[in-house]
Structure 1
């Protein structure tokens, strides 16, 4: 009798796919939650959007639970693969998408279940703080990073910090909100300098990661929302932040011809949340300043966002069916 271990040949492919289930899947949750919040922000202009927002909240929460279960299973079965992702120079920046998803879920849940939302937010804040320090420590460790490893995805930890005050200030956590806002703005400015240097003076971003260019829009747009949440008004600095988001959006718009030629990858989900953030920021400015023009911008961006998310969901489903995702890179 053979003493070699027996394996199930049908189970092996699924086992392998679980090992390669990437942390970048949480970017999908960010996109869905971003759409939820954008629909809610647009509801004063079009009340029917509130019903769509409630539905998207359920869809986004369900997606988060499913993705989290798969990643927990990967952590238990293939802990070494998680460690490998942590040490990956590009994927490291995506780990805060986990806590950002929690913060967005809390923000979207707050109008319906404020107590539950506060508990989710507190968990997200603690996790965001820990992951921010851990990621920054990873960046300044003994490892040697190359210029090609730097992409706009490195903004993700900074974006997570400035998301904290969006709901935090509303719930009364003022000093905590300013703490995270300060940290997020500080590292956004530092990383923006590094990223612009990389984009101008070095080789172009590889095709698979080029969609992360859209992330340039997110930090100023989210920072605007955080700032007005803490101050309650639109002043000169708030206008600088919002208009910086529009400027980066124009820069990204100029890259659309190149984006249209690229093959699909999970990095394409980077398109969704920044557009959502700028749409929400436009709606918020319109609400505070009474600007019909900015309300129309918000509605236009929301339309683009819906088209983008529908397209991404369809393309992601097709990629999963074809076995193009969760494979060795």
Structure 2
């Protein structure tokens, strides 16, 4: 019976488990940049680099096993109006791992970047085609829709030196355009329709990610902080302050694996703040950098603890 239960748990292993890799990748890059710009020990980022890679390989192998044993369960996830967006977390995890390895191990970075970029190109096309070809209910829209879009903005961050900049500008353009479109749709849904389901409340943090990652990508490509770059950074800062202002919405909600949606956007904001400090060298951005690094670390500790507790209780990978 116990063995049968374990097999059944494999069937319900959700694709959103890749959000854990996204979160840990964000934490890793945060500490890599903190070592570079805030004089943190470089060993912290190095430890997280190997830990994140190990977690990615474990999650990937389990999901691959699920796809072989329970093909229809994967097909159902891939045609689900909400879960389809989390498939992009696979390619985003690969793109973020390419960023993690870029400075020290460019060959490993390329091994992650090229297939991650091709996979994300496909998933972006498929997801947007899915939205167009199938009627979407307004209640299904939520900030997780940004996940396939954010990946396009990550492509230029790790892609400098791998391909011509015109290709990187293509991905950046697609990401910025659909961020604006989807933000309008999701804001309309949040304000004028039913409230988000409790399990998707953490995805509000994803509102931070597109402008934060967009700012980093823009600076990577053009190495200037002009009006557009400042607009992206300040929008990311605004959404960070907004979710902080709404903290009561998050402190009492039940744990779901979607809590990992907290981590990646906060890490992106921390990296953006450190980049601004590196460029501007002002006290405000220095203080903001330390605050955001601390916030990212605390959130990872909380979410990791809750994840372990619920794994032990066998409350993850169950039928909803």
User: What is the TM-score with the length of structure 1 in the denominator?
Assistant: 0.95
Question: Residue 313 of structure 1 corresponds to which residue in structure 2?
Answer: 304
Q: Which is further off, 37-46 or 221-230? A: 37-46
More helix by share: 2
User: How far apart are the structure 1 equivalents of 2:259 and 2:25?
Assistant: 16
Conserved 8 A contact 1:211-1:267: yes
Choose 1 or 2 for highest CA Rg: 1
After superposition, residues 1-329 of structure 1 pair within 5 angstroms as 9-141=1-133, 143-171=134-162, 173-329=164-320
SS in 1 for 2:36: coil
Q: How many residues align?
A: 320
Conserved 8 A contact 1:234-1:289: no
Q: Which is further off, 172-181 or 58-67? A: 172-181
SS in 1 for 2:319: coil
Q: Provide Cα deviations, 1:41-92, integer angstroms capped at 9, x if missing partner.
A: 1113443342100000111000000000000000000010001111111111
Structure 2: 5+ residue stretches without partners: none
SS in 2 for 1:44: helix
Off by >4 Å, runs of 4+ in structure 1? none
CA RMSD of aligned residues (A): 1.1
Q: Provide Cα deviations, 1:19-51, integer angstroms capped at 9, x if missing partner.
A: 000000000000000000011111134433421
User: How far apart are the structure 2 equivalents of 1:78 and 1:49?
Assistant: 44
User: How far apart are the structure 2 equivalents of 1:45 and 1:179?
Assistant: 30
Conserved 8 A contact 2:34-2:40: no
Q: Provide Cα deviations, 1:269-288, integer angstroms capped at 9, x if missing partner.
A: 00000000000011111112
Q: Provide Cα deviations, 1:215-240, integer angstroms capped at 9, x if missing partner.
A: 00000000000000000111110000
User: What is the TM-score with the length of structure 2 in the denominator?
Assistant: 0.98
Structure 1: 5+ residue stretches without partners: 1-8
User: How far apart are the structure 2 equivalents of 1:290 and 1:172?
Assistant: 31
